[in-house]
Each structure stands twice: as structure tokens, then as C-alpha cells.
Amino acid sequence: MFNVYVLKSLKSRKRYIGFTSKSPDKRLSEHNEGTSQWTKQHKPLQLLHLESFDSKKEALKREQFLKSGQGRKWLDENVDIA
């Protein structure tokens, strides 16, 4: 199982989009511990959105979409960042 996730920084209110084969809770914990350069500067983080896929290829394709202009627009319209 592969997951695409969107995190929200409670500090800067910005979004972070990522992909993992780990459990979403484990990955969120790693981000909040500061294992990633970007998330280290923007923690604490909370999980905003999660999608699961059977294949790595599908998950990576969705991650890239969410990072695109159309994907950011989709997130703005469908995922509440409040």
C-alpha cells in the first residue's frame, strides 16, 4: 500500500504534499520530529488529506498532480485548510 498525504503547518499554514509506503501516522510523526528539511522549519504539522493506492506508480502520479497548478486548485476546492 502506498499513500499520498497532505500536511498543514500549524506554524506557517502552508501545505506539504508527500508520498510514502509507511503508515501515515508513522510518517507524520517523522515529519514532526524534523526528519525533513522543509517540515523541520514548519512544524508542528497535522494531516489534512490522505489517499491510498495499490501501486507506487499510481501514488507517484497522484503526488505529482497534487503538486501541480491544477492539483493545488483541486486541494483548495476540496480540502479544508482552516
pLDDT in tens, 70-79: 999 999 999 8
| Whole-number percent of the chain with pLDDT over 70 | 99
**Total domains, the chain:** 1
- pLDDT category at 82 given cuts 50, 70, 90 is low
Alpha carbons within 13 A on the beta-carbon side of 18: 20
Rounded mean pLDDT of the chain? 93
- Local structure of residue 51 (DSSP, 8 states): E
User: CATH code at 32?
Assistant: 3.40.1440.10
* Structural domain boundaries enclosing 64: 2-78
pTM score, two decimals? 0.91
- Local structure of residue 25 (DSSP, 8 states): H
pLDDT in the model for residue 57: 98
Q: What does the pLDDT average to over 41-65?
A: 96
